[in-house]
Structure 1
Amino acid sequence: METIDLKHLRIVHTLVQYRSVIKTAEVLEVSPATVSYAINKIRGVVGSHLFIRTKKGMIPDSIARDLSARYMSMLKEETPSESEVTDQPRTQLTIRSNALIELMQSLSSNSKKNKCKTIYLPQSKSSEERIYSLKNKSVDIDIGTRLPEDSNIMKIKMFSSKVSLLASVNNINMSDENARSLWDIKENLLMSADTMDYFCNNIEASIQTKEYLEKGNASLTSANSLNLIAFCAYSDSVMLIPDFFVEKLKSFFPVVAYPLPDKLEIFYDCYLHCNSELFEEEGVIESFGHIFNGSDDATRYTFPASPKGDITS
């Protein structure tokens, strides 16, 4: 059987992570044609399509995932032993998160002092993809909605927050309590595909919220919450936002938060996930605690000295 060139394997691995031929080419500093050639070359060897082209990008099949894991395994074999790198500080962290968490991290004082290079990847809605990336160590830290249990992944619940309506300070439709109704809001609600999965505390509220959001006449949908926030700040549209982020957003946008109408009560929980091995590296996870010390409207969680298993509260 024909062997697979390591350079081609690297291209598959990178495409698994970014799901974009153009982005993969940019990261590897090659042409898109080189990426396509490598994928076609490996397809001929393994007899699999490897990737399915969709509106959400190039979705890898099981063979592509296996090849990506094989590439990571080969890199691990080539790296120095643990004893040789014990005293060497980590130089790079790869993080999956939503746009708001990325903003909080970039604005924090510790991020300016941190000499470790941070690479952010867009969050995936697929729990399977998120777990896979953590287990094969192509992603160091995943911050977002809680992932299913896995013995190889540590979890910390970072904060729990109520969700409110974000609107421009100049939005006259929101200034009068009597004018702010479910139906008025629905006509101007912005929808985000930014993996901010909200929840309700009871079945009745969950059903009402689901029906309300699904039947809404969204004026704009974006994969990035920051795009919606900017649009919201300078229009009459409104959007859902966890209270945890509001005060920080007020520093950059002319926005204000209003409580949801009585019939809607929505919450958001945020978790930090990482491979169990990363948890043992001193200071790496603790350095993220400062991101979650901003809002009095959120319940926050602190790091124990020697965490074992899930850290939730």
Structure 2
Amino acid sequence: MKIDFNSLVILNAVVESGSVSIAAQRLSISPSSVTYAINKLRRLTDNPIFTRSKTGVKPTTLAHELNTRYKKTVLMINEGLGIEGENHESDVSKTITISTYTYIELWISLMTLKKESVINNGILNFITHPGTNDERLMKLRNREVDIDIGAQLPNDPSIVSYRLFSSPFKVMVSKAHSSIKDTLSVDEWSKNQHIEWNRINSETSSMMGDAQIIEEMMVRKTHITSDSSLNMMMMCANSDSLMLIPEYFCCCIDELLPVKFFDIPFVNSMEASLYVHAHTTSLKDASVGGFLNVIRNYNC
């Protein structure tokens, strides 16, 4: 596979501008010439280079990788000619695109502050976690994301998966709760209102039955739901509402929010597991592989 340099020049312009028309203006060529070059790269690599969005075009991880190599090539040429460029090699950053829940975004971000070697000179790019398995698989196959962290996906020959965490559930309660202090009873579970993270159902698996047939789960008073785990945690910390969360989410939360955790006050077999998924090609990237090794062995 041979990729001509001119195509990479055009790719860089589109990545930097986020628009085919703007890239064409900057390069003084027609938009059709830009489209032709991008389509040529897509045929050569047999993978999408950009996807369309409401705000323009979004580069896939392959586009980011090609753009990084282009920048390194330009840097080497400039150094060979003795020309000082604006960037140095250490400034050429690898973008790692991650699709996951909002709390996991926070957990990973805090991890990078404590342990800078997590991404070395890379850039973490978090995108909205899709609501369906089909969407998640499509983004992985198309390499729109490097890493997907969430509920287990169906088997796919191009996707590598492993379990990151597995745990029972806990009940999260504000430390300032008006009535729940040191213990949580079934009566308090029933009387208080609940807020629910919508993704909880996809995270729940049962070893001895299903959460949907547990009476205490069915009759609880849920008054707010959200796709954002972090928003629901903030709401729980600042109200008398109860929230059911996987125990692995408890890591670091009590350092950030005024909350406390209790065992579920009735017999249940609910368990949650969190999985990491990545395209086999993405795993060949040293930055992605190194990042995955760190989060697999990281403790709060």
Call closer, same or farther: CA 1:287–1:122 in 2, change over 3 Å: same
Q: Look up the equivalent residue of 1:93 and give its one-letter code.
A: I
> C-alpha separation between the residues in 2 aligned to 1:278 and 1:162?
31
Task: Say yes or no: does 1:97 pair with 2:100.
Answer: yes
What's the counterpart of residue 181 of structure 1?
A: 186
Call closer, same or farther: CA 1:247–1:95 in 2, change over 3 Å: closer
Unaligned runs of 5+ in 2: 1-10, 12-16, 21-47, 53-57, 77-88
> C-alpha separation between the residues in 1 aligned to 2:282 and 2:109?
21
- Give the TM-score, by structure 2 length: 0.64
How far off is 1:183 after superposition? 6.8
Unaligned runs of 5+ in 1: 1-9, 11-26, 31-64, 296-313
How far off is 1:245 after superposition? 2.4
Pick from 195, 198, 207 the counterpart of residue 201 of structure 1.
Answer: 207
Call closer, same or farther: CA 1:90–1:147 in 2, change over 3 Å: farther
Deviations 1:48-81 (A, max 9, x none): xxxxxxxxxxxxxxxxx9x949x989x86x948x
Size of the aligned set, in residue pairs, is: 229
* Paired residues for 1:8-23 under 5 Å: none
What's the counterpart of residue 267 of structure 2?
A: 263
- Give the TM-score, by structure 1 length: 0.62
What's the counterpart of residue 218 of structure 1?
A: 222
Question: 286-295 vs 244-253, which deviates more?
Answer: 286-295
How far off is 1:123 after superposition? 1.1
> C-alpha separation between the residues in 2 aligned to 1:68 and 1:259?
44
What's the counterpart of residue 252 of structure 2?
A: 248
Question: 110-119 vs 163-172, which deviates more?
Answer: 110-119
Question: 127-136 vs 226-235, which deviates more?
Answer: 226-235
What's the counterpart of residue 145 of structure 1?
A: 151
> C-alpha separation between the residues in 2 aligned to 1:291 and 1:167?
27
Task: Say yes or no: does 1:133 pair with 2:139.
Answer: yes
Deviations 1:5-56 (A, max 9, x none): xxxxx9xxxxxxxxxxxxxxxx9489xxxxxxxxxxxxxxxxxxxxxxxxxx
Call closer, same or farther: CA 1:180–1:125 in 2, change over 3 Å: same
Does the CA-based 8 Å contact 2:161-2:278 persist in structure 1? yes
> C-alpha separation between the residues in 2 aligned to 1:139 and 1:129?
11
Secondary structure in 1 aligned to 2:125?
strand
> C-alpha separation between the residues in 2 aligned to 1:290 and 1:173?
41
Does the CA-based 8 Å contact 1:199-1:266 persist in structure 2? yes
Deviations 1:77-114 (A, max 9, x none): x948x9x9899976111110001110111001235763
Question: What percent identity do the matched residue pairs reach?
Answer: 24
Q: Look up the equivalent residue of 1:106 and give its one-letter code.
A: S
What's the counterpart of residue 165 of structure 1?
A: 171
How far off is 1:249 after superposition? 0.5
- Based on CA coordinates, which of the two structures has the bigger radius of gyration? 2
Call closer, same or farther: CA 1:142–1:228 in 2, change over 3 Å: same
Does the CA-based 8 Å contact 1:186-1:218 persist in structure 2? no
Q: Look up the equivalent residue of 1:206 and give its one-letter code.
A: A
Does the CA-based 8 Å contact 2:171-2:242 persist in structure 1? yes
Q: Look up the equivalent residue of 1:249 and give its one-letter code.
A: I
Q: Look up the equivalent residue of 1:133 and give its one-letter code.
A: K
Deviations 1:212-241 (A, max 9, x none): 545432121122111111111121111011
Call closer, same or farther: CA 1:28–1:281 in 2, change over 3 Å: closer
What's the counterpart of residue 238 of structure 2?
A: 234
How far off is 1:262 after superposition? 2.3
How far off is 1:129 after superposition? 0.5
Deviations 1:142-195 (A, max 9, x none): 001010000000112111111100001122433264x62167347411111246
